[in-house]
Amino acid sequence: MIIASFDISHKKYYDICLSIRTQVFVVEQQVPVHLECDEYENCSQYFLGFLEHTPVATARIRQTTLGIKLERFASLPEYRNKGLGKELMQHIVHYVTVIHPGKILYLNSQISAVGFYTKMGFETVGEMFIEASIPHYVMKISSHG
């Protein structure tokens, strides 16, 4: 997989990210669109994974007071369970450790994805909470860099 990294000014790639996110979060998971596209769109760094020139997965990161938050991981349904999410996550973790060394990496994981993120080195922190009507856990990476 080839992974592009960019900010919101690259409108063509950003629109593709939004299309993937809309299909996964709004259509499949029925997350309200006003929750999916939020006030952090303009201050995030985006990643778009291509498989043979086809955009298939996306994610974003942003800096917060707690560290670097990894968000909006989404893969098109027909490309799931092929190791692409793992590849995208590994790329982003490496990117963050180079660009933001020493920063804490964390995310809000849907309960159904906790196992995946645990395999990627993340650990749950605190109690389960509800976000967009979906159970989540905060997860931080146990080691990086």
Residue 145 has pLDDT above 70, yes or no: no
Q: Model confidence over 13-42: pLDDT tens digits?
A: 999 999 999 999 999 999 988 888 899 999
Residue 87 has pLDDT above 70, yes or no: yes
Mean pLDDT in residue range 91-113: 93
pLDDT band at 143 (very low <50, low <70, confident <90, very high): low
**Residue 134 and residue 124: Cα distance in Å, rounded?**
16
**What would the CATH number be for the domain defined by 2-141?**
3.40.630.30
**Residue 140 and residue 24: Cα distance in Å, rounded?**
23
Among residues of the chain, what percentage have pLDDT more than 70?
A: 97
Q: What are phi and psi of 113, to 5 degrees?
A: -105, 0
Return the pLDDT at 125. 95
Return the pLDDT at 35. 87
Return the pLDDT at 142. 59
Strands 105-110 and 67-75, by their bridges, are parallel
